[in-house]
Amino acid sequence: MDKYVSASVLSADMLDLGNEIKKLEKSGIDMLHFDVMDGIFVNNITFGLPVLQQVRKATDMFLDVHLMIADPIRYVKCFADFGADLISFHIESKSDTLETIRAIKDCGIKAALAVKPATPAEEIYKYLPYIDMVLIMTVEPGFGGQSFIPETLEKIRDVRNKISELGLDTDIEVDGGINSKTANSVIKAGANVLVSGSYLFSAEDMRIAANALREGTVC
Ligand code: DX5
Ligand code: ZN
């Protein structure tokens, strides 16, 4: 399966976002990961629609929007209209899962279902035929710069096996604590879209860092 790196702008220099995006483009980063937090679903508040709108104007990059908000269905259309190419929302949120998937698809964009570390893999199986991607949180959602939770590897393996069993080609994205030390194990477990914030943005050479993630180089 093709592997992709999605850069989490949560770790970018917000006052210099335009140049940060240019750097991502020049470094061959595949997608831009946009973390929306509402202070209710998670204990943090980040950014939302006006910032996404500006980001959309600044780049043609694929915009991978991760909604960590209490009632995502209410905002699906707005995020799609403001430029999202894919919307991930949490199965643990209060919105009806199938209705939210349908609302995203009705906007003509890709839909992904996100799961927190404590949520069992089995809970998402019945939705697999309807989604483009599963987002497996490899840290507790809320903040960048946390350490990877190794117990999530089993969930990645289980979901990848289920996807194969169903004859699907659904992407698996991993988010949290992904760096050159953890990339190898998540790829081996079956992930193919790697979100990275602090590791990528602190790298001396972002292109080399992104290649190390895709190749799963242990260094
Ligand atoms: C955490 C966010 C992540 C975060 C990843 O809730 O969903 O996207 O920015 O950051 P790192 O790569 O620093 O763990
Ligand atoms: Zn995220």
pTM for the full predicted model = 0.97
For 69-106, give the DSSP string.
-S-GGGGHHHHHHTT-SEEEEETTSSS-HHHHHHHHHH
Q: What is the pLDDT of residue 129?
A: 98
Q: What is the pLDDT of residue 216?
A: 82
Minimum CA distance residue for ligand 1 atom 9: 144
The backbone torsions φ and ψ at residue 16, rounded to the nearest 5 degrees and listed phi first, read -130, 35
185: pLDDT strictly greater than 70 = yes
**Average pLDDT score, the chain:** 97
Reported as a single tens digit per residue, the pLDDT across 192-210 is: 999 999 999 999 999 999 9
217: pLDDT strictly greater than 70 = no
Ion ligand 2 — residues with CB < 5 Å: 35, 66, 175
In whole angstroms, give the CA distance from residue 187 to residue 185.
5
In whole angstroms, give the CA distance from residue 31 to residue 39.
25
Distance from the alpha carbon of residue 102 to the mean position of ligand 1, in angstroms? 26
Q: Does the CB atom of residue 48 touch ligand 1 within 6 A?
A: no
Tell me the average pLDDT across 170-187.
Answer: 97
Q: Which residues contact 49 (CB under 8 A, 6 or more apart)?
A: 75, 78, 79, 82
The backbone torsions φ and ψ at residue 74, rounded to the nearest 5 degrees and listed phi first, read -65, -25
Report yes or no: 133 and 173 within 8 Å, Cβ to Cβ. Answer: yes
Q: What is the pLDDT of residue 130?
A: 98
Selected catalytic residue, list 30, 64, 132, 175: 175
C-alpha torsion sign, points 62, 55, 75, 29: positive
CA distances from 153 to 166, 187, 188, 191, 212 (A): 20, 10, 9, 9, 19
10: pLDDT strictly greater than 70 = yes
Pairing of strands 86-90, 31-37: unpaired
Using alpha carbons only, give the angle 154, 151, 192 rounded to the nearest 5 degrees: 55
Report yes or no: 63 and 34 within 8 Å, Cβ to Cβ. Answer: yes
Tell me the average pLDDT across 97-117.
Answer: 98
62: pLDDT strictly greater than 60 = yes
CA distances from 155 to 3, 44, 96, 118, 119 (A): 19, 25, 23, 10, 9
Q: Does the CB atom of residue 23 touch ligand 1 within 6 A?
A: no
Atom index in ligand 1 nearest the CA of residue 145 equals 13
